[in-house]
Structure 1
Amino acid sequence: MIGWPAQVRLDSDWFVLGTATSAVLLSALVPARWRRWHHRRAGRTMSVVAAVTSVVLASGAAVNGIGSFYPTLGALAGTSTLPAGEPPHSTPARGGPGSVRTLRLPQGPRVGVYLPAAYADPDFAGTRFPVVLWLGDEPLRRSGLPALLDEAIAAHRLPPVVVLATGPDADPAAVGHWARRVLRVRTDRSAWSVAAPPGGPACPLDVALRHPADYASAAGPPCNPPGPSGPAAPTALLATARAGHPGEIAALERARAAAAPLAQLTGYVLPGTAAAQRRAVLGWLGAQLPGPVLGGGDGVPA
């Protein structure tokens, strides 16, 4: 499925209302026409099948509208496995796993740093990389995230990216200022994202909306995201909830209803294991982040 049909929203109120209306009308048609069909057997059979199909479709649409399991037609058809698509990144990079180290900020907490394999490649010596600030609740080395990053980069679902892993209570401004001084990272807003694992205690959407000039995208639990604090381009937000957690799904729906005009919010209920959920988050981030650049890190190649 290519083009606009794949982008048709299946979780919109209009789609749910439309399927419900069709179900009511087709169900009412069965008794109304039961004795009036010219070819009774064929008419009765087709009307019953249509009514049952419409009721099943309406029920599925209602459930999907609440949980946003398949936000678009492309997601249902399997041609778009993530809320915002998954365009490939073709940035050449040295193969192999990235490196993980733990560094301490001056007079601050320790930060887990993931550096992609390309970071150490001599051919990329003057290259600056996009950044994800990861507000995890466990150390980077034990989180399983580095292996998922290696996998996503190798599959071109994510550009070679520097990941700064901190606790959920870290000061994002301090971490960002430190990273811009000591690491080869891009400094433009479009190349910075903030994220957290689904179901974790951190609130990355809040961080992005409180600092709209610093982050162009954010993904993770919605918490209670405020409106943007100043003029900026719209911030792309992915509000996540885990399937089977009604409280998280309810929070997702509240965030969707309160989405600010300067934010583009997509709600997504993530099924599967914790690793599969994190893969989905990384794939969505890959659709938002630009690739590495050669030069001063402001998005303009040298």
Structure 2
Amino acid sequence: MDLDSVGTEWTAVAVAVVAVVGFSLVWGTGRVLVRTVAGFVCVLSAAAAGLTWVNRQVDAYPTWSSLVGSSAAADTPVTAGRVGAGQIVTLTVNGQASGLNLPVYAYLPPGYSDTGSTRYPVVEALHGYPGSPSHWIKRLDVATVLNHEIRAGRMAPTVVLFPYQTPDPLIDTECANLVGGAQAETFLTRDVPAAARARFQVRTDAAGWGLIGYSAGGYCATDLALRHPDEYTAAASLSGDATPGIKIGDGSENTTYNDLWRLAHLPVPAVSLYLASARTDRTPLRDTRALVRAARAPLSVTTSYIDGGGHNVQTWQAMEAPAFDWLSTQLARPLP
């Protein structure tokens, strides 16, 4: 069983229940050492059950090997698509510019062929923190969503990339270049596109490239589009903020990595943004409205609000298909 599976979660719960029962049975023995050990086992098993549940929600550690090493090195959800459906494959990106060597998962749409002549538009899909690309693939069931939207004609056949934005699941980069740390922005905007263009049949122009992300990945999508209009033409943010919420190392989290500061003080790029938020999700809702007020031509902003909801998987599932459909209307079409 994978670390983020339902089976692992229920096993942890069962162990915690057994520990509590065992603790009640030994309590009357009168032996302090036995009570102490039993109590410790109860606390440890309860904590393990809770952490297993949390991990399943965010997929920070998808596999057992990722728990003791790099999650990026162990997390390889490769799936073969059904006939007439897309498939997910794995690409290892050896970052020449960033120095990061991480896997990237790629959804290849129905009809895709490495030997074909069609070049497809590309969307980079960014995960939240804590999290990993597995959250898109497993919890958000992105392949099924993309298959359905493409089959229905609401989305053009598109290659979707699922990169890591951190080499360590305990380090939140917010897709930025950290001073003295991981160069996540360079990895995502230079190394990943270069590797995809070399490996897959994709468009090479900025008009054919977009971004999407949820939670921290939503901030990433908006921020990278504003910072790199020469690489991307559109971005969709699902429950994203306008600021990184971490220390970059040089104070730039308050200036150039702050999207509101950027729109107020720097030239506005000609890109399109899709900002989705639940009305009950306070910070993303506040920042979405602030970005709308700060936006001016040539920047274009489209908003989408969900009544109720919150900052959770169910909300992102509701936002997912409309956001991909919108992106498809903004990106250049597949190029024969």
What's the TM-score bracket when you normalise by the shorter of the two chains? 0.5 to 0.7
Match of 1:102 among 90, 102, 105: 90
**What pairs up with 1:187-206 in 2 under 5 angstroms?**
187-197=204-214, 200=217, 202-206=219-223
Residue identity opposite 2:287 in structure 1: A
Whole-angstrom distance in 2 between the partners of 1:288 and 1:102: 26
2:295 paired residue number = 259
Tell me by how many angstroms 1:118 deviates: 1.3
1:281 to 1:176, Cα distance in 2 relative to 1, 3 A: same
Report whether the alignment pairs 1:128 with 2:147. Answer: no
The residue that corresponds to 1:118 in the other structure is: 111
Deviation at 1:203? 2.0
Partner of 1:211: 228
Q: Distance in 2 between matches of 1:105 and 1:199?
A: 22
1:197 Cα offset (Å) = 2.4
In the alignment of these two chains, the number of paired residues is 198
Aligned to 2:75: none
Gap change, CA 1:185 and 1:144, over 3 Å in 2: same
**Aligned with 2:203: secondary structure?**
coil
1-structure distance, mates of 2:225, 2:266: 10
Range with bigger deviation, 268-277 or 250-259: 268-277
Larger Rg belongs to: 1
Superposition deviation, residue 198 in structure 1:
5.3
Corresponding residue number in structure 2 for 1:29: none
2:267 and 2:120 map into 1 onto residues whose CA distance is 26
Q: Quick check: 2:212–2:218 contact (8 Å CA) kept in 1?
A: no
Give the one of 151, 155, 160 matched to 2:152: 155
- For residue 242 of structure 2, what is the amino acid of its counterpart? C
- TM-score, structure 2 as length reference: 0.54
Whole-Å Cα distance in 1 between the matches of residues 267 and 191 of structure 2? 20
- Equivalent position amino acid for 2:329 in 1: A
Per-residue deviation, 1:177: 1.4
Could you tell me whether the CA contact under 8 Å between 1:105 and 1:175 is conserved in 2? yes
- Please list every run of 5 or more consecutive structure 2 residues that lacks an aligned counterpart in the other structure: 1-81, 96-100, 166-174, 176-183, 244-258
Letter in 2 for 1:287: T
Q: Give identity over the alignment, percent.
A: 28
CA RMSD of aligned residues (A): 2.5
SS at 1:293's partner residue? coil
The 5 Å alignment of 1:160-199 reads 160-168=157-165, 169=175, 170=184, 171-172=187-188, 173-197=190-214
Q: 1:121 to 1:207 in 2, by over 3 A?
A: closer
Q: Give the Cα separation in 2 of the matches to 1:174 and 1:270.
A: 35
Mapped to 2, the partners of 1:204 and 1:285 lie a distance apart of: 12
**CA deviation string 1:221-267 (max 9, x = no partner):** 252423497786x2111122123212211111111111143311122
* Higher relative contact order, structure no. (Cα contacts within 8 Å, ≥ 6 residues apart): 1
Cα distance, 1:213–1:231 mapped onto 2, change above 3 Å? farther
Match of 2:242 in 1: 223
Note if contact 1:135-1:202 (Cα within 8 Å) is conserved in structure 2.
no
Q: Secondary structure at the match of 2:211?
A: strand
What are the superposed Cα offsets for residues 188-237 of structure 1, whole Å, 9 maximum, x if unpaired? 111110111257564211100100111111110252423497786x2111
Structure 1, unpaired ranges of 5+: 1-93, 295-302
Over 3 Å counting, the alpha-carbon distance change for 1:131 and 1:230 in structure 2 is farther
